[in-house]
Each structure stands twice: as structure tokens, then as C-alpha cells.
Amino acid sequence: MHEWSLAEAVLKSSVKEAKKRNLRKLLEVKIVLGELQGIEEEIVKFGLDSLKKGTIAEEADFIFINEKVTFKCRNCQNRWTLKEANINEHTIKESIHFVPEVVHSFIRCPRCGSPDFEVVRGRGIYIKEITGEDL
Amino acid sequence: MIDPREVVSREKFAAIKYIIPVVSGKGGVGKSVVSTALSLALADRCKTGLLDLDFWGASAHILLNASNEFPEEEKGILPEEIGGVKFMSVAYYTQDNPLPIRGREYSDAFLELMAVTRWDDTECLVIDMPPGMADPFLDLLQYVKNGNFLIITTSSILSSNIVSKTLKILKELDLKIFGLIENMCLTEDGNSRIRELANSFNVKHLGNIPYYQDLDINLGSWQDFLSTDFFQKIKEISTRLEL
């Protein structure tokens, strides 16, 4: 479960940001999970709850926000969703789960066939917002 | 927005005692073959890893005959161990398909791989870099502050000219350089211009590697690779690296 390493990354980054903002403790961390990476929310949550002990995030609530994918073709400006991308093969889903950018190895713009597209939203994990108590 | 991968990527690089980015600026000078041979040679001396950051032209996995399976997962991704070297490449996930991505996507994939790969007790990490000074080179400079660069050039003026620009940037940023290797030499002594280039930047000329016409037939199996004169030459050069 590589979600554990992502949980570790979220915790370390939240704590570092909190210290930068002179926060005494973290109260809430809003985490966005992009649909493309298919991260297991429960595993990230379990990781965060285990790792937060003894840190300034010990009492923090971790709020998860799921973000749907939008692909946009750089060639013809077409926009499409993950559902429309129709990725069914398990090993391809797994590959994208580890490194979302490899989606470029497996799909093309459904309108013009171009491999040159961007993931406008819903790529992977990021921290949207942290809140806490001032020193 | 806070990207959680940045902090851990920096930490992971900083925790490794020796990071050796193998760079040139010029393509086709043998960076992948040198990187792979060097990692196998160093594995006798210290716990060594090899990271292939040439996402567009990944080839170290071919030289190491890496598995077609995904690397194992355990609180992150455990690099496959081949010939005593911990190896990581995007090739595990592209399933031998092309990866047509722009720089922005390159940077994302770079951060993703670094954030989730467990190098653990690795003491020395060799990085096979793509040619050029675009995003991969700039990402490396941004996230790796403890690199000891290894410069690869051929005797050709076309290579040395570009390598001089790479050296100029590395010197301008006061980064550590292990030295320069002159690869695919057609004469035993190499080209005096390359020695002058190394001298002009106060960089060690670590050695000449002849052009081995039969090297290609021993590529594709790391065990066969170890028996080549090329590998022996790299092993000899590796003893001159101050680790």
C-alpha cells in the first residue's frame, strides 16, 4: 500500500506548513483526492491517524474531498471525463495509481486521437487548506 | 494548495549520502550504459541505488533486465533489487508504451516517484538523467542539493561544446562535480580537447572509455554486462570517485 507514503507526505507537509504559519496545533486538514490516481481514502486516513500521534496534528481532523477528472486536449481543446476514457484493464489502472502521468501511455484524445492532453483537475492528492491555533 | 510530495522528496534525497547524477547535456553519449555499469560497480562498495529519470527514453531497465511486474509495495514502493542495486524506473508503469508528456507532467511524475519510493538505507544513488537542460535537469537542481555530478562526453566537438555549457551551469551554481568521463574514444588517449575542457573548468578527467564494437551483444542481461571490458573500465574509474 503506497498510500502510506502519501499519508506520510501529507502529514509532514501539513506540520511544516503549520510551523511556517506559527500555528501551535493543527485542527483541520482538507485533502483533495483526485479520481485519476484512485487513492484509497480509508488507507490514507488510517495512515494519518497512526502517524499524527505525538505531533502538532494529533487532534486534527482530516477532511477528504473527492475531485473528478477532467482531461483537456491541447490539440483540439476537447474535454472529457475518466468514465469517457474507458480505462478498464486492471494493470493499466494500477500503473496510473502509482504514477498518474502514465495515463499518457494508455489513452488518447477521444476526438482527435492526440496524445498531447492535460489533466486539468482530479490528478492526485494535494492539501487544499490547513487550519489551526496560533501560538 | 500544498503539494505534499515536495517536502518528502527533498528529505529522501537529503538522506542519501552520495547522489551521483550522470549528466551530459548531449544525447547518445552513453549516460544510461555508464549509469547502469557504475551502479553495479559501486554495489560492491556500498548500498547502491539506480534511479532512471530519463522518462522519455528509459533504458536502464533493459540493461538490468528488470522485471515486468510492479515493484513490491510496503508503506511505499520498494525498488526491485538487481545485481545488488536497488532500481527504480517509470518503465515499470508504462508497460513499454511511449510516454508522450510535457515538462509539467514530467515534474509531476518525478515528484510522485520520489515521494513514494523507499530508498531506505541506500548510501549511494546513481541517477541516469535525460539529455538537455529542460525540466528534468531543472527539477534535479531544485530538489537535489547534495549531488556529485558525473559528466559524460564523447570526443566529438558536438558533444564537448554542449558539455561545456552543462559544466558552466553546474560551476555557476557551485555544485560538486566528481569528474568527467570521455566515452566511446576511438584512440587510446582520447582527445586532448576533452582534457583541456576538464582542466578549464577545474574538473577531474576520470578516464577514457574505448568504443567497444561488441558491447551491444552483451546488453540485456546484467550478468553478461559484468563480463564486458566496458564494465571493467567503469569499475576501474569508479575507484577514482571519492566516496
Q: CATH number of the domain that A23 lies in? A: 3.30.2320.50
Collect the ranges in chain B with pLDDT lower than 70: none
Contacts of B114 in chain A (CB under 8 A): none
- Name the grid cell of B47: 548500498
pLDDT digits (tens, 9 = 90+) for A105-118: 999 999 999 999 99
Rounded CA separation B122/B13 (Å): 10
- Number of domains comprising chain B: 1
Is the pLDDT at A1 greater than 70? The verdict is no
Spell out the alpha helix ranges (H) of B28-145. 31-42, 60-63, 91-94, 103-116, 135-143
ipTM here: 0.94
* Percent residues over pLDDT 70 in chain A: 99
CATH code of the domain covering residue B72 = 3.40.50.300
Is B100 domain-assigned? yes
Cβ-nearest to B99 among A5, A91, A102: A102
Q: Where are the beta strands (DSSP E) in B24-104?
A: 48-52, 80-82, 85-89
**What letter represents residue B12's amino acid?**
K
- pLDDT band at residue A2, thresholds of 50, 70 and 90? confident
Cβ-nearest to A105 among B98, B104, B116: B98
pLDDT digits (tens, 9 = 90+) for A4-52: 999 999 999 999 999 999 999 999 999 999 999 999 999 999 999 999 9
Based on the fold, state whether residues A115 and A127 are members of the same structural domain. Answer: no
* pLDDT at residue number A23: 95
- Number of domains comprising chain A: 2
Conformational region of residue B128, where left means phi above 0, alpha means psi within -120 to 50, and beta covers everything else: beta
Q: Which residues form the domain of A100? A: 70-121
Based on the fold, state whether residues A75 and A110 are members of the same structural domain. Answer: yes
Contacts of A130 in chain B (CB under 8 A): 2
